[in-house]
Structure 1
Amino acid sequence: MNQNNYQYWNTFYLVDNTIKENDQYDNWLNSYKAYFKSGISVLDLGCGTGINLPALLGFGANVVASDFSEAAIKIIKDSFSEERLKLLCFDMKDRFPFIDNTFDIIVADLSLHYFGNEEMQHIVGELKRVLKQNGKLIARVHSINQVRPSESIEIEPGLYYCDGCCRKYFTKEEIQTLFSCWTMISLKEKNIHRYGQEKKVFEFSATKISK
């Protein structure tokens, strides 16, 4: 089964030019405001059109916003002129283009659920590598209880293919297993609104600990 995520996401952002206007920030990061100090380094991983950037910059962070889609990065470039913001386009399936222990915090908002188990193992390793000791990951991913499109095809447990894109629907236990070498701070299922629809997600935060 061929999957072209690059084409999928560039088309997604180029065709639907109302995404940025209609997809509003839901204040979810306010619950973690105590983690953010002025001048800390933050990676907004899979940032899309930058929905979380006003909050992150408002917290005083120096932010690297990254996404697989050049179209998404261009939307941000045309919308923000903040000196504390850097933009980068790369594929999470590759080695992250940062040296070890670069970031204090990584935010991954609905960006980690597009990969199979083997790819996720690699990505979790990269998250840990580029985070500083005691650095924090704040993330949201699809819940297994999220309704899936009827035409979806399951290609491995919990990973479904539909309309040119794979999506993973996590159980709570899978998240705990993936991050078993981290200190899990919080993990809860929530209902949110994104891209014009209701979504059921797991929201969690975890701290990098030594090997």
Structure 2
Amino acid sequence: MLEPGTRALLGLAAALGTRDPARVRHAALQAARHAVPAAVEELLLQSHLFIGFPDAISALATWREVSGRDAPAALNEAAAAWAARGEQLCASVYGGNYTRLRANVAALHPEMDRWMVEGGYGRVLGRPGLDLATRELGIVALLATWGAPRQLHSHLRGALNAGATAGQVDSAVELACDLLDAGRAAGVRELWLGIRIRREAA
């Protein structure tokens, strides 16, 4: 269901969630062979939203080593554009749950709500270089191996809202499950199956 470049990208995303340097290196080598380099750069950049700066920086260092590519030029976007772009993108991903999401996160802390929309969606996920559906599929693969079921639930739905097909989500889930033990893999598959059944019945 996935062409080789996208499969390599999602394999790298899944490896990032394991925090296993050997798996990340192997997946980065596959990405260097099959994926568009600019897409790999974007996947690695967005990973810091989920795995943090230390692991994202380590992954970028591995990518530089195995790909032999220098860092690209900075995008240097105006920060003023991030809020509006973030609101539009976040609403696309969360659909009918967008207003409730914003209220729930703001209730935890208003700055977290602002950072999520302006920083996460506007500054990072709204960048050019990788389409939203592929970004969301990468997030699904990463969160499945990282072990964040609540966020995984949101982004499984978000991938569909962003235009990914159910078959593409199937593939992202299975790439992640290949790196998990049987119990965790069963939980991820069960979560996705429930979402898929409800979506198809709607």
Q: TM-score band, normalised by the shorter chain?
A: 0.3 to 0.5
Q: Considering fraction of residues, name the structure with more strand.
A: 1
Q: Which has the higher contact order (CA 8 A, sep 6+)?
A: 2
TM-score, structure 2 as length reference: 0.37
TM-score, structure 1 as length reference: 0.36
